[in-house]
Amino acid sequence: MLSITDRDRGTPAAHSDNRVTIEVDGNAVEVPEGTSVMRAASEAGIDIPKLCATESLNAFGSCRLCLVEIEGKRGYPASCHTPATDGMKVRTQSERLHKLRRNVMELYISDHPLDCLTCPANGNCELEDMAGVVGLREVRYGYEGKNHLDSQKDDSNPYFSFDPSKCIVCSRCVRACDEVQGTLALTVQGRGFDSVISASQNQPFMDSECVSCGACVQACPTATLMEKSVIELGQPQRTVTTTCAYCGVGCSFKAEVKGDQVVRMVPNLDGRANEGHSCVKGRFAYGYTTHPDRITTPMIRESIHAPWREVSWDAAIEYAAREFRRIQDTYGQDAVGGVTSSRCTNEETFIVQKLVRAAFGNNNVDTCARVCHSPTGYGLKNTLGESAGTQAFESVEKADVIVVIGANPTEGHPVFASRMKRRLREGARLIIVDPRQIELVRTPHIEADHHLQLRPGSNVALINALAHVVVTEGLVDQDYVDQRCERESFEEWKEFISRPENSPEATASITGVSADEVRAAARLYATANNAAIYYGLGVTEHSQGSTMVIGIANLAMATGNLGREGVGVNPLRGQNNVQGSCDMGSFPHELAGYRHVSGAATRELFQTAWGVPIQPEPGFRIPNMFEAALDGEFKGMFIQGEDFAQSDPNTKHVTAALEAMECIVIQDLFLNETAKYAHVFFPGSSFLEKDGTFTNAERRISRVRKIREPLSGKSEWEAVQELAQAMGYDMHYDHPSEIMAEIARLTPTFTGVTYEKLDELGSIQWPCNERAPEGTPTMHVGEFVRGKGHFMLTGYVPTEERSTSRFPLLMTTGRVLTQYNVGAQTRRTGNTAWHAEDLLEIHPHDASERGIGDGDHVGVTSRVGDTVLRAQVTERVQPGVVYTTFHFPHTGANVITTEHSDWATNCPEYKVTAVQVTKVNEPSEWQRRHREFSEQQRKLLEERRAAARRASG
């Protein structure tokens, strides 16, 4: 069912510049050509009864409840299926229509249980509503005949149930799965009276192809497909519009609430990023927000081997401030730093970097984007002039050729993947560059034209080969380049890329991709009207991550694929606010809006606003902080919602660095892996407990709105503000909107952003300023942000991490749909039903050579460490390559990843680690120690209340 506050207009909006005027029951209404009579009537304020139609789906015309009379037309056309034409006169009510509709309803109800009073849909059921609207008073057919009232319920999915006895076979669910989600998991089986809805081959939902996006549940007009939370809690009372706190798609939701309890999350039809769709995480996986593991009282301890002690907020803040000042007095002003989180709001990240720059007085601030998209920032800033993706998501609807490089949208960015699949089903061509056979390579109604299945670590050789073909086969868009790009850098690049070593023939031995395939793909990309590149961490997390981003930008510029809809360079961001945390000045060398700290004018602006000097030199990056900690130069850290001990490479190195510090303050929901090394714990608030904004992968700023007060009694920004005050720096805001006002004052791309405008427009894509008061969906129109596009050279440099006889396989990493990053949230939800452990994918050939069978425990050893997990033997990976995810701490995927990193940004090379895999019987040494340490930390946590009592005497 749609949200309780949505008005269902029955059919999708039409997009046309031509307008037509029709008259509905005597009311004239003007609509875009192509609008259905049903929707036009709705625009005129008249709701025509309906059952098989809903706004998110194309009209189907099966229930015959929406019949109308149209002047000059015979019979009773279905209004959902009839387009409005100019001058049309429509009647929605008459004696005859009334009778026809009643008869239709009577038939439906004769095979429907009459348990409306106890039905979970009571209060929000379209069938019940329609029975009321058509004035159904009796059902003449009785229940003695054949019916479906005894059909078995399917409760296999953790989040929704399927009760076929209530099904009216309107097929809205089937069409939602096809049209909206693109998974095609549902069918109508049988005919006529025997028709039933079935998941895959008559399987329970959990065993079917269903990915639990919930689109069918949302589309169902009855209680057949129903959220279990509604069955349990009853209907909600109010809605609050907010933004998903998981991935970089940034879906907008209406949180439907009763008191301060979420009853269900319904994707917002007006949300521009998702247009009413969602994935299993955003819609269903919010249970972590009330999980008993949440820590809601501040805690401190003197050493990581001492028990935690619950204290008041004041005591915790006072203690942290004193420790940071003590460290600075002893080891110097630069011996402390902080890290902002891409899971927090813009306002929260801004205030943490301000804490570091203004209260700590140094530039030792970094963000978790360091380990994911920092190369995007570097590469796009230097070539195009702005550290951000160039398009809105909807731009993909105009793309003719789509290139997906090192991204797995159906798992990592599911709602965008659904949009992309829709465009692909309409006929757009597809090129995939990935070492693995990701789902998009072949999925119902979609098949990639080219899957360039390259070896891990050879991205740059491949992008060079593609560009080589473009340049040497005369496929450069010369007019575009002449007009929009620097002549000199283009000529230098052209000479470089034309060199024989960059040809597909020469690079084939590096990439493992045949020259013919590369040539064909390059031609397809370069000759398309509109070609768009989408990429993910498979591009950035390499020792040449930045080079690859530059290579992508070069290719797009050379073929004229930037600066309009349907084209562009689009980084798919991992976490919800990666874009935002970078925009907010979280990098050690940049202030908000990507302005280098060495710029005197920028510094002056901030110094005046903040009343303190800003250091003119860059500070430490995260890996530098760890190195310096091991050397005894760096001693204290404020960590906002991050979990390095699980997410960062070379875990043993990271934990040794954490252990070497004297004061770690962590702000988080849970005692995560990193918190086990902390001295002060500031309880954080979930997205349901905060006001603020997130910025998604398309630069879209959306509001996060509070539905309940923070469980800890204090907002995260308040805690940070009070810490700054306790350290002697006067920071004062009364509401996050005031932080945004400061951001807008100090950041040229944000000057037009206010909470009022966000309320009014729903969301805004930055830049938003005098030149673009309502934001900027497409960047670089007419001119690049930096002026002329800058080509940069992209020599291929093989990574030092190569396979050897000792470590003959290359391990690469990724993620799955149902889990999110380190899993701190999703592991505490029903999503574990799908993915309860990380597995190692290995090709049958490599497996049989090692005597490994499906499900066996295998040891994975790299130069820096080893771990044990279970094997999954599959052809999704090529021989010589193994693959795993890192959602569970005990997996220790990052115990094996190494310190190799991107040359420009130090983004770790997660995607290539040389390993050996062997069959084993017991956990690794690291896993044994990790288990012991975790057990010890659990006990120290359990003592927190007793310790508090002891301390207060």
Partner 1 sequence: MKIERLVAMANDIGKYFASRSDNEAVIEGIADHMTKFWDPRMRRQIIAHVSETGGEGLNAHVADAVRRLALPP
The residues binding ligand SF4 (CB under 6 A) are 167-173, 176-177, 181, 183, 185-186, 197, 199, 210-216, 219-222, 224-225, 244, 246-247, 249-251, 274, 278-279, 281-282, 414-415
898 binds partner 1 (CB under 8 A): no
Closest-CA residue to 941 (of 681, 716, 666, 663): 681
DSSP 727-746: TT-----SSHHHHHHHHHHH
Half-sphere exposure of 75 (CA within 13 A, CB side): 6
Q: Which is nearer to partner 1, 353 or 906 (CB)?
A: 906
The single residue among 62, 122, 261, 725 that binds ligand FES, judged by CB under 6 A, is 62
The single residue among 338, 588, 710, 814 that binds partner 1, judged by CB under 8 A, is 588
Tokens encoding 508: 């084939």
The residues in 551-590 that bind ligand FES, with binding defined as CB under 6 A, are none
Q: How far is the CB of 97 from ligand FES (least distance, A)?
A: 13
Q: Which is nearer to partner 1, 92 or 905 (CB)?
A: 905
Cα-to-chain-centroid distance, residue 379: 22
Q: Which does 216 bind (CB under 5 to 8 A by kind): ligand FES, ligand SF4, partner 1, none?
A: ligand SF4
Q: Which is nearer to ligand FES, 62 or 769 (CB)?
A: 62
Q: How far is the CB of 355 from ligand FES (least distance, A)?
A: 56
859 binds partner 1 (CB under 8 A): no
Instruction: For residue 202, count CB atoms less than 10 angstroms from its CB and return exposed for 0-12, middle for 13-18, buried for 19 or more.
Output: exposed
903 binds partner 1 (CB under 8 A): yes
Q: Which does 645 bind (CB under 5 to 8 A by kind): ligand SF4, partner 1, ligand FES, none?
A: none
- In the shown chain, the binding pattern of residues 38 to 57 toward ligand FES, with x for contact by CB under 6 A and - for none, equals ------------xxxx----
Instruction: For residue 3, count CB atoms less than 10 angstroms from its CB and return exposed for 0-12, middle for 13-18, buried for 19 or more.
Output: buried
CB 709 within 8 Å of CB 692: no
Could you give the CA distance from residue 777 to residue 698 in angstroms, rounded to a whole number? 8
Q: Which does 924 bind (CB under 5 to 8 A by kind): ligand SF4, partner 1, ligand FES, none?
A: none
CB 511 within 8 Å of CB 455: yes
Could you give the CA distance from residue 275 to residue 268 in angstroms, rounded to a whole number? 6
Q: Which does 903 bind (CB under 5 to 8 A by kind): partner 1, ligand FES, ligand SF4, none?
A: partner 1
User: Pairing relation of β-strands 839-842 and 692-695?
Assistant: unpaired
551 binds partner 1 (CB under 8 A): no
Q: Which is nearer to ligand SF4, 154 or 347 (CB)?
A: 154
2 binds ligand FES (CB under 6 A): no
User: Which residues have CB under 8 Å from 541's CB, separation 6+?
Assistant: 371, 372, 902, 907, 908, 909, 910, 911
Q: Which is nearer to ligand FES, 9 or 827 (CB)?
A: 9
| Strands (DSSP E) found in 700-781 | 700-704, 763-765
Q: Which does 620 bind (CB under 5 to 8 A by kind): ligand SF4, ligand FES, partner 1, none?
A: partner 1
CB 540 within 8 Å of CB 374: yes
DSSP-assigned letter for residue 701:
E
Choices 59-67, 500-508, 541-549, 579-587 (CB under 6 A): range interacting with ligand FES: 59-67
CB 420 within 8 Å of CB 438: no
Q: Which does 628 bind (CB under 5 to 8 A by kind): partner 1, ligand SF4, ligand FES, none?
A: partner 1
Cα dihedral sign, 330-333-334-338: positive
Q: Which is nearer to partner 1, 121 or 549 (CB)?
A: 549
The single residue among 60, 496, 677, 888 that binds partner 1, judged by CB under 8 A, is 496
Cα-to-chain-centroid distance, residue 828: 18
Q: Which does 62 bind (CB under 5 to 8 A by kind): ligand SF4, ligand FES, partner 1, none?
A: ligand FES
The single residue among 14, 33, 58, 64 that binds ligand FES, judged by CB under 6 A, is 64
The single residue among 241, 794, 803, 913 that binds partner 1, judged by CB under 8 A, is 794
Could you give the CA distance from residue 404 to residue 843 in angstroms, rounded to a whole number? 23
Q: Which does 301 bind (CB under 5 to 8 A by kind): ligand SF4, ligand FES, partner 1, none?
A: none
CB 494 within 8 Å of CB 478: no
Question: Helices (DSSP H) in 46-118: which residue ranges?
Answer: 95-109
Tokens encoding 548: 């690859």
Q: Which is nearer to ligand FES, 171 or 367 (CB)?
A: 171
463 in helix, strand or coil?
helix
CB 635 within 8 Å of CB 334: no
Q: Whose structure tokens read 């043993």?
A: 652
Q: Which is nearer to partner 1, 243 or 546 (CB)?
A: 546
919 in helix, strand or coil?
strand
Q: Which is nearer to partner 1, 350 or 496 (CB)?
A: 496
Closest-CA residue to 458 (of 15, 14, 911, 21): 911
The single residue among 31, 78, 658, 896 that binds ligand FES, judged by CB under 6 A, is 78
616 binds partner 1 (CB under 8 A): yes
433 binds ligand FES (CB under 6 A): no
The single residue among 66, 125, 210, 217 that binds ligand FES, judged by CB under 6 A, is 66
Q: Whose structure tokens read 């830049």?
A: 767
Question: Helices (DSSP H) in 297-340: which residue ranges?
Answer: 313-331
899 binds partner 1 (CB under 8 A): yes
Q: Whose structure tokens read 């909006």?
A: 13
63 binds ligand FES (CB under 6 A): yes
Q: Which does 624 bind (CB under 5 to 8 A by kind): ligand FES, partner 1, ligand SF4, none?
A: partner 1
- Residues that bind ligand FES (rule: CB under 6 A) add up to a total of 12
Q: How far is the CB of 79 from ligand FES (least distance, A)?
A: 6
Choices 64-72, 149-157, 789-797, 815-823 (CB under 8 A): range interacting with partner 1: 789-797
Q: Which is nearer to ligand FES, 53 or 666 (CB)?
A: 53
CB 876 within 8 Å of CB 841: yes
Task: Please measure the distance between the N-terminal and C-terminal CA atoms of the chain and give it in whole angstroms.
Answer: 56
Half-sphere exposure of 48 (CA within 13 A, CB side): 37
Q: Which does 543 bind (CB under 5 to 8 A by kind): ligand SF4, partner 1, ligand FES, none?
A: partner 1
Q: How far is the CB of 362 from partner 1 (least distance, A)?
A: 9
Cα-to-chain-centroid distance, residue 406: 15
Q: Whose structure tokens read 């963000």?
A: 367
Could you give the CA distance from residue 392 to residue 412 in angstroms, rounded to a whole number? 18
Q: Which is nearer to partner 1, 54 or 906 (CB)?
A: 906
CB 665 within 8 Å of CB 671: no
774 binds partner 1 (CB under 8 A): no
Could you give the CA distance from residue 174 to residue 371 in angstroms, rounded to a whole number? 40
Q: Which residue is nearest to ligand SF4 (CB)?
A: 282
Residues that bind ligand FES (CB under 6 A): 50-53, 61-66, 78, 80
Question: Binding residues for partner 1, per CB under 8 A?
Answer: 334, 363-364, 492, 496, 543-544, 546-547, 588-589, 596, 598, 616-621, 624, 627-628, 630-631, 633, 793-795, 797, 899, 901, 903-906
